[in-house]
Structure 1
Amino acid sequence: MLDHPLRLLRWAVRLTACGLVLFAVVSVLREGRVTEAVGGVLLGLLYAAGAAFEGRPSPARVWLGLVTAGWLVLAVTAPPFVWVVFPLLFAYPQVLPLWAAMFGVTVLTSVTIAVSAWHAGGLSVPVLLGPGGAAVVVTMLALVCRALRADPRLRP
């Protein structure tokens, strides 16, 4: 019953991730930063490969760790990659047990704020509220999807 909307939502998150990666790659290419652009393309391919691990917890957790590590390296080296964190925030509650997902989301949000502040030259209200607010919204959406998927009354 809810299988189709949940599948559409997962694809929307994947397309958002690809759009954010593409935006970041184009941005760093305009600055002549080819190494970061290649890293971004590799990150995008790795993120897209995550669809193959859906429903397989162990490989999905390895995938999530690799994508997170790749994101962190790129976010530190080039500001446009910081925003690729948003699809990652959605992935954590989908892949990890709830306690680990909430810990991971908290760490990712804190790192995003710190890296954004470092790139901006200091902490500001938008740098603090942007990632923090997005983390709350994305996490709530992911938790709702998780609950809907787990409820046997909502399955066809």
Structure 2
Amino acid sequence: MMDMSLRLLRWTVHATAFTLLVVAVLTALREDRVAVAVGGMLLGLAYAAGFAIEGRRVWLGSVTAGWVVLAVAAPPFVWLAFPLLFSYLHVLPLWGAMFGVGALTSAAILAAAWHAGGLTVPLVLGPGVAAVVVTLLALACRALLAEAGQRPE
């Protein structure tokens, strides 16, 4: 039963990532920013490749680099940081994941503020609260897996 719950959570994260990606790509196309939309599609392919890649840390670095470029290029791509946070917490050891979550959250705040023309309280609180929630959920999943005597995939 727990395996099913964790699988459902994982698929929910992937569905969220692809939904946010589709919205960002469609927004770029609506704004006639074809190169940005193509970059978004390439990021989607790279994200999907993570299901089959053995070197998950290299994959995570590649996806993060693509996200940074797109987050600077267009505001809708900034919000893809949140599903990526789960990837950091899943792929990296806890110390690396915590560093990555902090760095990715900071980058999301800075990119959103840059697009908005300045830093506001909601632009800090939104990503900050989301990072805390994602981290707590991921840590709860790790604890459940450890309690069940299973290893994460």
TM-score bucket of the superposed structures, by smaller chain: over 0.9
Q: Report the number of matched residues.
A: 151
**Corresponding position of 1:91:** 87
Letter of the structure 2 residue corresponding to residue 16 of structure 1:
T
Matched, 1:71 2:67: yes
Structure with greater contact order relative to length (CA < 8 Å, sep ≥ 6): 1
SS at match of 1:151: helix
Instruction: Give ranges in structure 2 of 5+ residues lacking alignment.
Output: none
Distance 1:47 1:84 in 2: 11
- 1:35 Cα offset (Å): 0.3
CA RMSD of aligned residues (A): 1.4
Question: Does the CA contact (< 8 Å) of 1:2 and 1:154 recur in 2?
Answer: no
Matched, 1:130 2:95: no
Letter of the structure 2 residue corresponding to residue 89 of structure 1:
L
SS at match of 1:38: helix
Runs ≥4 residues deviating over 2 A: 150-155
Greater displacement, 36-45 / 145-154: 145-154
**Corresponding position of 2:115:** 119
Question: Does the CA contact (< 8 Å) of 1:86 and 1:134 recur in 2?
Answer: yes
Letter of the structure 2 residue corresponding to residue 77 of structure 1:
A
Distance 1:122 1:137 in 2: 25
Instruction: Give ranges in structure 1 of 5+ residues lacking alignment.
Output: none
- 1:152 Cα offset (Å): 3.4
**Corresponding position of 2:139:** 143
**Corresponding position of 2:47:** 47
Aligned-pair identity in percent equals: 66
TM-score of the pair, normalised by structure 1: 0.92
Letter of the structure 2 residue corresponding to residue 25 of structure 1:
V
SS at match of 1:66: helix
Matched, 1:82 2:78: yes
Distance 1:121 1:15 in 2: 30
Distance 1:149 1:130 in 2: 29
